[in-house]
Amino acid sequence: MPRSLPPLRACAALGSRLLAAATLAAAAPSVLAVIGMPQDGDNYPAELVLTVWDPVAKASYTYDTGVSMESFMETAQTDAGYQRFWTLDPANDRALAKFMEAGTAKDRLLWYVAGVDASGFGDAGDYRVATTLRATTVQGQTSNAYRQLMARPSIEFATDATAAMATYFADLNTDANNALNFHGARGPGGAADVNYNGSSYTIEGQQGYVDSAAQPWRMSAAAGIDLTNPVGRSSWFYLLQNQGPEAATDAPVIVDEFDNLTNDGYWGLDVLNGRYILSYSLFTTGPSAAQRAFAASVGRTELNGGFRVTALAGVAALATEGRATIASRPVSLGAVTLDPVTAPVPEPASVALMAVGAAAVAAAAARRRTRA
């Protein structure tokens, strides 16, 4: 039987938050740092946001990477490979400094990266989420989060995207009461501009706390799908899309993994010298011996243990932000290896499932071009 659109109540609640953001932007001069959300208009592409959560201290930290979901889909799945780093330094980020102030133990921290586009009207591909997912560490097993995700009905995913995940970002953008929220209202001040990227420190009870009743870290409280991993452990990355109104009510969400012909792309977060190092890595298809040697000499997120910096051999430099680049002299980071963590196991996937996902992505892209 045909599917219906997400509940109007969820859409209305999100709409009120977006209206508040638009009103705020119109009323002030200068510039506001905002998390990009297509619901706000054509000039606000969906952006990828890092959330780090301390469930013991009941505090969460967010960081706007400044990378649009759309551009990441194009650049982070190529056969040429892709790698990028973000260094988060508490000396330059008051929100992060507050989050780390209490000496938060690394072994209790959870993190995830996600972006959301919930700007459509229910056609296939109108609701999209790019996200990490809790990885399994047992060889031969499929993670429980992946099994839950593959069984999630598309119509319920559409509600997850609007009522929980998009609302979470909208709450961060519109909170004017938290002096340590530098998204939206607490940004540099003025008109909303996605080119300015903020961060936030939020505690339980404040607007934009990640473990609110909606539980966006589980996609939604109803979904219960864990998007987080412990700091020091890596995660694959997935693009989730809804099916169209013609699909059956129990039709599953469309899942497409970020990868190329031979490798999977993965995110990682770890702590190095008092700073958070966030990275995304996708190795090139069929790397040559020289390329493998270069990759081995560069600090990167390892599948077997968070972020790792090996002894640099004079062929690579790691910028504060951006990709690893060839250089005549290495940056002096030293030979540091962080505690190893068991490697996450790739989720099983069939050629048929990949074909369905690819077809759905292509169809959605065609519709968007037609609308434009």
264 is in which domain, residue-wise? 8-285+348-371
Residue 70 has pLDDT above 50, yes or no: yes
Q: Which burial class, exposed, middle or buried, applies to 335 when counting CB atoms under 10 A from its CB (0-12, 13-18, 19+)?
A: exposed
pLDDT band of residue 191 (cuts 50, 70, 90) is: low
Residue at 164 is within a domain: yes
Look at residues 34, 22, 19, 24 and name the one whose alpha carbon lies nearest to residue 200. Answer: 34
Please tell me the distance from the alpha carbon of residue 124 to that of residue 244, in angstroms, as a whole number. 4
Mean pLDDT to the nearest integer, 69-97: 90
Evaluated on CA atoms 337, 339, 342, 346, the torsion sign reads negative
How confident is the model over 340-345, as a mean pLDDT?
35
- 294 lies in some domain: no
Identify whether 305 is part of a domain: no
Q: Is the dihedral of CA 206, 51, 169, 65 positive or negative?
A: positive
Give phi and psi for 261, each to the nearest 5. -65, -30
Q: Summarize the confidence of residues 323-329 as an average pLDDT.
A: 30
Q: How confident is the model at residue 144 (pLDDT cuts 50, 70, 90)?
A: confident
* Total number of domains in the chain: 1
Residue 359 in this model has a pLDDT that exceeds 90: no
Domain presence at residue 293: no
pLDDT tens digit sequence for 55-65: 999 999 999 99
Residue 42 DSSP one-character state: T
Please check whether residue 221 lies inside any domain of the structure.
yes
Least confident interval from 19-28, 62-71, 158-167: 19-28
Cβ atoms of 72 and 195 closer than 8 Å = no
Tokens of 210: 């990640």
Cβ-contact 344, 136 below 8 angstroms:
yes
Mark 131-163 as b/e (b = at least 16 C-beta within 10 Å): bbbbbbeeeeeebebbebbeebbbbbbbbbbbb
Q: Which amino acid makes up residue 113?
A: V
- Which residues, 6 or more positions from 148, have their beta carbon under 8 angstroms from its beta carbon? 223, 224, 225
User: pLDDT tier at 196 (50, 70, 90 boundaries)?
Assistant: confident
Residue 368: φ, ψ to 5°: -65, -40
How large is the angle between the packed helices 167-174 and 8-27, nearest 10 degrees?
Answer: 30
HEC profile of 311-330: CCCCCEEECCEECEEECCCC
The helix (H) or strand (E) run that includes residue 31 is strand 31-33
Residue 192 lies in a domain: yes
Instruction: Indicate the range of 27-36, 59-68, 252-261 predicted with least confidence.
Output: 27-36
pLDDT in tens, 214-257: 999 999 999 999 999 998 888 889 999 999 999 998 999 999 99
* Domain annotation covers residue 143: yes
On whether the pTM is more than 0.85, the answer is: no
Separation of first and last alpha carbons in the chain: 30
Mean pLDDT in residue range 167-187: 83
Residue type, 155: I
* pLDDT tens profile 114-132: 999 988 788 888 999 999 9
In a domain, 72, yes or no: yes
Inform me whether the pLDDT recorded for 273 exceeds 50.
yes
What stretches of 89-198 show up as alpha helix (H) in DSSP? 94-101, 144-151, 154-159, 167-174
